[in-house]
Copies of this chain bind each other. A is one copy, B any other.
Amino acid sequence: MSDEQISEQSGTALPAAGRRCAEPCGDCPVRGLSVCGALADDELHALAAIMQSRDLAPNQPVFDEAEQSDYLFNITSGVVKLFKLLPDGRRQITGFLGASDFLGLAVGDSYAYSAETVTRTTVCRFQRRHMDDLLERFPHLQRRLFSMASTELAAAQDQILLLGRKTAQEKLCSFLLLLSKRAARRGHPETPVYMPMSRSDIADYLGLTTETVSRNLTKLKTRGIIRLLPNSMVDLRDIATLHTLSEGES
Contacts and interface: CB of A to CB of B under 8 A. Distances in A.
Q: How large is the interface on A (under 10, 10 to 19, 20 to 34, 35 or more residues)?
A: 35 or more
A125 to B, nearest CB: 19
Nearest to A159: B160
A249 to B, nearest CB: 6
B165 A112 contact: no
B164 A92 contact: yes
Contact of A154 (B91, B112, B163, B204): B112
Among A91, A139, A152, A164, chain B packs the most CB atoms within 10 A around the CB of: A164
A80 to B, nearest CB: 15
Contact of A248 (B87, B150, B163): B87
A161 interface: yes
A105 B153 contact: yes
Nearest to A135: B143
Query: Would you call the interface of chain A mostly helix, strand, loop, or mixed?
Result: helix
Given A87-B249, A92-B164, A143-B142, A150 B150 contact: no
A181 interface: no
A86 B142 contact: no
A194 to B, nearest CB: 23
Interface in A112-127: 112-113
A87 B154 CA distance: 18
A217 interface: no
Contacts of A87: 247-249
A227 interface: no
A146 to B, nearest CB: 5
Most buried by B among A105, A149, A248: A149
Contacts of A151: 107
Given A86-B161, A160-B163, A165-B207, 9 more contacts: A88-B249, A90-B248, A107-B150, A113-B157, A139-B139, A145-B146, A146-B146, A163-B207, A164-B207
13 contacts: A84-B158, A86-B247, A86-B248, A105-B153, A112-B154, A113-B157, A135-B143, A142-B146, A146-B149, A149-B150, A156-B157, A156-B160, A164-B204
